[in-house]
């Protein structure tokens, strides 16, 4: 294995001091342009690579930012990450992406790994199995590492967040179904200990009550955001003595499972039962029966989250109020919920 080139090797070749080489490579204004250019050209010829970790320890900045998501195999999180990267790459940052797979253990490991990597900040959507404890988030704050929540968050002093108005989203989804003449609206929720899912449930419930309909808790089933889980939950609903005439799902994937189960029984959508999902995943508009879904503006959410991080970095160690940015949801209405056009 060939020996790595060091600044001492470059200094020896150019007959200058190692300190001069270091200053030139780091763009020190005290070094002349001709010397800086000569050092950089020589470093390139000798395949010199700067030690980024050493630079981070010296300058206090690594220009690395961690992004933690439950999973990357969803269009929503992929677009959030894209939005984050667009903003941060333009400012010279690199993005390190971690997945929790909705496991608290992996969430903790990801945070530890990012701290060890000397990241300048962490942007994250918390895991679905998160505990009530905030110890790992507190560790970031104690080390003065900015933490920005997006989508799934916890209300913690000093932590900014970028979300959508999930209560409004749940309310508008249920109201739309009521406007279509639906009276027994089921809800495929997710873990309601997570704030966004509880808010969607509360919005759905409030719309039912505001319209003078009977709220039936048995029509609410907590289920994971997976196709097979949505199918299982829908079996329970359809086997009821009085099955629902609509399903509002907090996940497009669970909604897809619901559609598969409904179709397997020869029940018509939307004539017999209407469906609304959540996240506006690409498959919802390309299905034989396009699915109504709530759009969460993921690209904008990612961009704003990155900008909130940059704003906090610019303020340095000065105490600033944490930001709570709430975006408006948009209900994208398609055939799966339009009884009036069936």
Residue-wise pLDDT tens digits, 20-40: 888 888 777 888 888 889 988
Q: How far apart are CA 13 and CA 222, in angstroms?
A: 68
205: Cα within 13 Å, side-chain hemisphere = 14
Domains of the chain: 7-50 (1.10.260.40), 62-164+298-327 (3.40.50.2300), 166-296+331-341 (3.40.50.2300)
- 147-150 and 121-124 strand pairing: parallel
Mean pLDDT, residues 6-10 taken together = 87
Residue 123 has pLDDT above 60, yes or no: yes
pLDDT reported for residue 8: 87
pLDDT digits (tens, 9 = 90+) for 170-218: 999 999 999 999 999 999 999 998 999 999 999 999 999 999 999 999 9
User: Would you state the structure tokens that stand for residue 220, as one six-digit string?
Assistant: 């609410």
Q: Are 55 and 120 in contact (CB under 8 A)?
A: no
* Adjacent-strand bridge partners of 149: 124, 161
Mean pLDDT over 148-157 rounds to 91
Q: 């975006």: which residue's tokens?
A: 327
Residue 246: φ, ψ to 5°: -160, 150
What pLDDT does 56 receive?
Answer: 56
């Amino acid at each position: 294995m060939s020996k790595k080139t060091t600044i001492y090797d470059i200094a020896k070749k150019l007959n200058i001091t190692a300190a001069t080489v270091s200053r030139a490579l780091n763009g020190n204004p005290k070094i002349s342009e001709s010397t800086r250019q000569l050092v950089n050209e020589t470093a390139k010829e000798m395949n010199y690579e700067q030690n980024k970790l050493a630079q981070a320890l010296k300058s206090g900045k690594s220009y690395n930012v961690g992004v933690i998501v439950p999973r990357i195999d969803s269009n929503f999180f992929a677009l959030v990450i894209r939005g984050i990267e667009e903003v941060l790459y333009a400012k010279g940052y690199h993005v390190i992406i971690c997945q929790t797979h909705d496991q608290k253990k992996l969430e903790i490991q990801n945070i530890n790994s990012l701290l060890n990597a000397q990241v300048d900040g962490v942007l994250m959507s918390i895991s679905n199995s998160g505990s009530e404890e905030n110890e790992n988030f507190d560790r970031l704050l104690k080390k003065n590492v900015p933490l920005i929540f997006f989508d799934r968050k916890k209300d913690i002093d000093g932590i900014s967040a970028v979300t959508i108005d999930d209560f409004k989203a749940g309310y508008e989804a249920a109201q739309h179904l009521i406007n279509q003449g639906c009276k027994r609206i089921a809800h495929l929720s997710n873990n309601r200990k997570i704030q966004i899912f509880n808010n969607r449930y509360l919005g759905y419930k409030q719309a039912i009550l505001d319209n003078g309909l009977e709220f039936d808790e048995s029509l609410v089933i907590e289920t994971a955001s997976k196709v097979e889980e949505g199918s299982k939950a829908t079996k329970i609903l359809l086997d009821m003595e009085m099955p629902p005439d609509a399903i509002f799902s907090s996940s497009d994937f669970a909604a897809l499972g619901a559609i598969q189960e409904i179709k397997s029984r020869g029940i018509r959508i939307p004539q017999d039962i209407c469906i609304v999902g959540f996240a506006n995943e690409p498959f919802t508009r390309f299905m034989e029966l396009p699915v109504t879904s709530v759009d969460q503006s993921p690209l904008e959410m990612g961009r704003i989250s990155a900008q909130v991080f940059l704003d906090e970095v610019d303020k340095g160690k000065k105490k600033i109020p944490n930001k709570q940015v709430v975006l408006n949801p948009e209900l994208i209405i398609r055939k799966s919920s339009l009884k009036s056009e069936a």
